[in-house]
Structure 1
Amino acid sequence: MLWLYILLGIVLFFAIILAIPIKVCVQYKKQFFCRLRIGFVKIILYPPVPKKKKPKKKKKTEQPQKPAPKKEEEPNDNFLKELGLSGLVNLFTRITELAAGVLKDFFAHIIIKSFALSIKVGGKDAADTAINYGKICSVVYPLTSAVISSMKYTHYGVDILPDFTKGAKTKIEFFAIFKTRIAHLVKIVLKHGFKALKMLMELKNIKDN
């Protein structure tokens, strides 16, 4: 009978582990932020948390110097600059294709607690802005429709607006909270692990190119 209690204990342990909820918070507002929450444990995936430096011991003979005023660092927007408008459109197009295939089963087990995408489209002049606006709308709206329709969601919104100011830059803001369970992730990894890895490599190549 002892082996039966041990077996039941192991089964109960794995059942509890697999039932643990996972929540991912993703935000992009000039800087990218991603936080993972597994049960009650929060992990910041990006940006990496800087390590605290140990303060250096000052010599007694040295007079304490006034700290130099800190310069306010401007948010880094390298991702959008490196990608460019054509790269951004290409990226959205590729994700749309993948969402219809590999990611369909993955998205079916994810709940969207909140989803908000805001894009302000700019260009060299009014005509260029209008062309860019049309390109982005033709890709982003089908993409979000394909992704959102394949998931359960509580709230979502997509807002794309043209900025006809001469020389205006395209700006993107994004916020989303996704929720699932470890059991679903284990099932997906066993079924689509290799395909998902291939997809990530393709997306990396799109960004690099």
Structure 2
Amino acid sequence: MTALHVFLGLTAFNTLLMFFPVTFRVSFRERFGVQVRFLFFHYTIAPRPPKPEKKKEREKKPEKKEPFLKRLFKQQGLFGFLSIFTEVAKIAAGTAKRLFRHLTVGDFLLDIAVAADDAAQTAMQYARVCAAVGTAAGLFFGAVRYRSRRICIVPDFRSKKSRVLFQADLKIRLMFLISAALYAALRSFKLFKKIKNNPSSQNTQEKAVLSHGGSSN
């Protein structure tokens, strides 16, 4: 009976992994926002509520460099959005291609109104934004599956401030997330083991490069 219960439990767990996706609702209205949902659970990744101020310590601690994702989430405005979209597109087409190919994008909506101080600058900014969005969108949509997308970029000659409205639902099955995490952990372990077993390999490679460069003179 115990074995049957274990089997049924594993079957139910596998069903959850197979058929229920994890949904990331991503938005950008002057600043970046993302919420993750799975079944009845949801969690806001960004923006996070401000932390309560701590009492001043006697000794000031050295400022730590913020993680890449945290710095990315703080980007604001049109060019903040473009930097985020460009970085995500590069990751999707590069290091995380294995993960992003299992991603399904639904209801991708991007509306941009480009504005500057005068008409000439607005036209120049508009051309640059179109080029940046076109390149990033080509990389991103070439690496994922998508159902619908709408991208609209217009010049706004009446305003002096650009506007961005973005929203998308990104869905991926939990099993692929777990698989990607295990794959990354395994690769990191193999790399660490290789470095530990061959501590002089890096010095050997550097000497080979230097000697090769010296012989060519």
TM-score (norm: length of structure 2):
0.63
Deviations 1:21-52 (A, max 9, x none): 211212222354432211122333344469xx
Answering whether residue 180 of structure 2 is matched by residue 188 of structure 1, we say yes
Deviations 1:103-143 (A, max 9, x none): 32222111112100111111121111111111111111121
Structure 2 CA distance for partners of 1:30 and 1:194, relative to 1, 3 Å: farther
User: Aligned residue for 1:54?
Assistant: none
Deviations 1:119-178 (A, max 9, x none): 11111211111111111111111211221232221111111111123x611111101011
User: Aligned residue for 2:15?
Assistant: 16
- Which secondary structure does the structure 1 equivalent of 2:111 belong to? strand
User: Aligned residue for 2:98?
Assistant: 105
| Contact 1:89-1:135 within 8 A present in 2 as well | no
Give the Cα separation in 2 of the matches to 1:193 and 1:138: 36
Q: Which runs of 5+ in 1 are unaligned?
A: 51-77, 196-209
| Contact 2:111-2:151 within 8 A present in 1 as well | yes
Answering whether residue 45 of structure 2 is matched by residue 45 of structure 1, we say yes
User: Aligned residue for 1:80?
Assistant: 76
Q: How does 1:1-209 map to 2 (within 5 A)?
A: 4-5=3-4, 8-9=7-8, 11-19=10-18, 20-48=20-48, 79-80=75-76, 85=79, 89-165=82-158, 168-192=160-184
- Which secondary structure does the structure 1 equivalent of 2:176 belong to? helix
Counting aligned pairs with the same residue, the percent is 26
User: Aligned residue for 1:56?
Assistant: none
Give the Cα separation in 2 of the matches to 1:98 and 1:160: 24
- Which secondary structure does the structure 2 equivalent of 1:109 belong to? coil
| Contact 1:99-1:146 within 8 A present in 2 as well | yes
Structure 2 CA distance for partners of 1:192 and 1:126, relative to 1, 3 Å: farther
Q: CA deviation at 1:193?
A: 5.8
Letter of the 1:29 partner, please give it. Answer: R
TM-score (norm: length of structure 1):
0.65
Q: What is the aligned length?
A: 164
Q: CA deviation at 1:191?
A: 2.2
Q: Which segments of structure 1 move beyond 6 Å, counting only runs of 4 or more?
A: none
Q: CA deviation at 1:7?
A: 5.4
Structure 2 CA distance for partners of 1:96 and 1:150, relative to 1, 3 Å: closer
Give the Cα separation in 2 of the matches to 1:95 and 1:153: 16
| Contact 2:21-2:173 within 8 A present in 1 as well | yes
- Which secondary structure does the structure 1 equivalent of 2:134 belong to? helix
- Which secondary structure does the structure 1 equivalent of 2:96 belong to? helix
Q: Greater helix percent: which structure?
A: 2
User: Aligned residue for 1:203?
Assistant: none
Q: Which runs of 5+ in 2 are unaligned?
A: 51-73, 188-217
